[in-house]
Amino acid sequence: MAIFLETVTQIIAHRGDKAHYPENTLLAFRQAILAGADGLETDVHLTLDGAMVIIHDETVARTTNGSGLVGQQTLAQLRALDAGSWFAPTFKGQQIPTLQEVLTLLDDLQFTGLFNLELKTDKVDYPGIEAQVVALLTATPRAYTIVLSSFNQATLKKVHALAPQLKLASLFEVPWWTTIQLLRHHWAAGWHPDIRWLPWYQFLLPKKVILRPWTVANEKQLRYCLQHHVAGLFTDDPQLALTWRRKIQGR
């Protein structure tokens, strides 16, 4: 039985088309959109000199040829790193992008889908990141839907206080009761749980919750989400997910 009847599940590219390109690069985002993904998901940190940059980890070691914390390096230092060769030699020279560069790419491609930006404040404190992100995203009208998410409940509260019109989503593994508290206070209408949480606890879902599980990594998980018509799913391979959606939902 479907969790959400008649819902066409949005396929959201997790860090871009991560299965085929170096994650969180402009190339990965461009290729995900060209492949037909309904949405993009990415992550934002602050540099030492206050720039908003797109990278998942708190350190640069895994996805670049550098080392050290993102927040302890300047934008110029981060831009000098190679963010592509770790994935494959073909992608040598890819850079860590800024948030503004990603937004410009979305505009250039006339993107009208969902843009999910995770504020990475659950492990490192970036003072003022909420205000900077809100200021940039609300400065001009956008053709796409913006959702801001975080594992850090305090971050979501700050964003809500700054811009109550923005759509928020709570990322969580456990404890799920913190998310229920958020929904009771109307801070976050979206639930973004670990996919492993969903089959066991779906009975806890409040009515009208916007459910987008992460990271849907294999065909079994894809079938489960699509057969239950969740609002959206985050996947590393949007091309595969789109193929399964056509098979199951006919879209």
Distances (CA, A) of 84 to 96, 97, 229, 237: 9, 12, 35, 18
Distances (CA, A) of 114 to 6, 12, 20, 119, 145: 19, 8, 21, 16, 5
User: CA dihedral defined by 100, 104, 110, 115, rounded to 10 degrees?
Assistant: -20
Q: Catalytic residue numbers?
A: 14, 56
